[in-house]
Chains A and B, each alone.
Chain A
Amino acid sequence: MDLSLLADPVFLAQNLVDGLSRGALYGVYAMGFTLIFGVLDILNLAHAATFMWCAFVGWLIMAAGGAPLPLGLVAAMIAGAAIALMLEFVAFRPLRREGADKLSSMISSIGASLIMVSVAEAVFGVQTRRFPNSVLNPKPFFIGGAGGVRISRAQILILAASVLLMVALGLFIRKSRMGKAIRAVAASQKAARLLGIDVNSVIVVTFLVGGALAGAAGILVALLTNNIVPGMGNQIELRGLAVVILGGMGNIEGAVVGGFLLGLVETLTIAYVPGGSDIKDAIAFLILFIILLVKPNGIMGRGKADRA
């Protein structure tokens, strides 16, 4: 442990900013993931591939097409919704109709993911794509003058987006008519159907929202890391899953809180543990394991009936 670093408040504040913005990424990604899980009880392992495709759509529109950032963000979210909708019709609904079990749906989503990554490799190549500086000025602000705490526009954007999306999604699920229907379907598809809820259209809406969140995450990750490759989903896939479990399966706020937690642990490990960057995953997952020992349903997890 490096004591001189511990005594430096600017360094600590800097790592909190970096850790929270890293965590916000995980949170936005995990929100869509956990929503679909909460409603359907299946892991949509094509979520990472959806996320990657949306980053490329954003890149195409903004870097190659010259569109401004808000347009790119909206386009990526629409692309995400469209891809998720396609997944529902191609990979999930046919299986549901045949009454296949949850495991088959998961395998089907793995297949869809592999196809999506291969197609991206064929279309875009495996070379890294980057945004030009004109998309989002990479020059950061320094709070407290030079040598102060650095925060970039991308970090501000992602922190704001994560909280906004969390609140909006929470309100939508709890207050809106459709949100209530989603919760009813999450509790029991059979009971919801008996009550006259059109289960299939509720599932379609769930996929649209989940996909749009994957799209938002894709574009935000692309902006923060400026590193767009067909394999970019691999880096976030496992962490996203961990965050979903940490926050409580199907819990929207839990996903965001879990994301922040993982981002902070990773960043602080690199910052304060000697050789931390080599063992950040080991430490992060060790802490996750300990939390789950204490709270097996996740930090904000409740029973199954309360999901979504």
Chain B
Amino acid sequence: MSAKRSILCAIAFAAAAVASAAPLPATIKIGVVETLTGDNSAYGISIRKGIELAAEEINASKLLGSSQLALVVADDKADKQEGISVFTKLINDEKVSAIIGPTLSGTAFAADPVAQKAGVPVLGTSTTAVGITAMGDFIFRDSLPQAAVIPGTLAAVIAKYKPQKAALLFQADQEYSKSEADVFKASLAKLNIQLVATESYSKGDSDFRTQLQKLFSKKPDILVLCSLVGEAIPVLQQAREIGITVPIVGGNGFNSPNVIKNAKEAAEGLIVGSSWFIDSVVPKSKAFVEAFRKKYGGDPDQFASQGYSGLFIVANAIKGSGSADRTAIRDALGKVKGLDTTLGSFSFDENRDPVCQSVPLTVKDGKYVLFQ
């Protein structure tokens, strides 16, 4: 942190303080609701790391003047009831100004209405299902919705492999997976790829060979998978085990390095779409990767990057509104335009969904690299 920048920040803060009547409180509480236990903690723990790094930087740089952000972190356990109870507690007892989270779309569909009703702004940093922000005008996300990622990913796959036929596997009783499967189906139809077979599985299943065998028997040119990390790993392994060698396209759930770490060689060649990747040349992203490595001793992933940028987006909204008031923050979030983040230049559209880039990636030698 350079002295020059802190002076600039101080001036900016002074200007903001003059503009609004009441100064910002000494501490502003931000709720962070993520999945920190179970298989899906692969996403939640990563997001928390990104957010905590951002909080340190925001407080150290005095982005909000003498005001400090205080994170109230809670585990939603990837459970709807738990999500609702944690949201209620953060809103009523902790009196948070805004909430970042929850990790899974399914939890968001259950918990976000609680915040909407109480008038607390929510920023999802990993929810991608169709209809998340449609729950209300307090619900935002910086994670690209499936419809913004999938067509681009498929277009890149078409350019390289020219597939005619696709097969799809998803989890029938999981909101994220079901929504993603629907978006894939629509995109495939639009791109004139014939969907020759669709199969599903349910929560708790661990043997997917029969479904995969059935898909395989239809001789698809590509296989599309919509799974969360707990199933993504065995699905990939079993697909390769039964002899499926065609390119595999994964949904957002496959964006975690945890998938690569556990599925090992079965993950090689996997194609995903993402808002971010480790070698991104966006200036903010380079600084973020460096700071993340320094603090945690490992590489960040897409979820850490979206969490990190998420808190900066909220902090900038607080700064812009000059207030820790929930409605004022909501109004300021709506005005975020061209903000410099790790995801590139970031804006919200009129539906409170993010407008930022999406890139196709593939797994090569155990790492996500640009798919070309």
Contact = CB atoms under 8 A, between A and B. Distances in A.
A235 B203 CA distance: 10
B234 interface: yes
A104 interface: no
Interface residues of A, number: 34
B371 interface: no
A151 B242 CA distance: 9
What interface size band does chain B fall in?
A: 20 to 34
A304 B200 CA distance: 42
A112 to B, nearest CB: 22
B37 A138 contact: no
Contacts of A270: 199, 210-211, 214
B243 A125 contact: no
A225 B210 contact: no
Residue among B39, B41, B210 with the most chain A CB within 10 A?
B210
Contact of A142 (B207, B237, B243, B262): B243
Contacts of A277: 172, 199-202, 205, 210-211
B234 A227 contact: yes
Interface string A1-32: 00001001001001100100010000000000
Query: Which residue of A125, A127, A271 has the most chain B CB atoms within 10 A of its CB atom?
Result: A127
B192 interface: no
B39 A11 contact: no
A128 interface: yes
B206 interface: yes
B206 A127 contact: no
B207 A126 contact: no
B213 interface: yes
A139 B241 contact: yes
Q: Which of A22, A226, A277 has the most CB of B within 10 A?
A: A277
Given A11-B217, A126-B37, A130-B262, A226 B211 contact: no
Interface of B: 37-39, 41, 172, 199-202, 204-207, 209-211, 213-214, 217, 230, 233-234, 237, 241-243, 262, 264
9 contacts: A11-B213, A18-B209, A127-B37, A128-B230, A138-B241, A142-B243, A150-B241, A152-B241, A267-B210
Given A15-B213, A138-B241, A277-B205, 18 more contacts: A11-B213, A14-B213, A15-B210, A126-B37, A126-B38, A126-B39, A128-B39, A128-B233, A133-B264, A140-B242, A150-B242, A227-B206, A270-B210, A271-B213, A277-B199, A277-B200, A277-B201, A278-B200
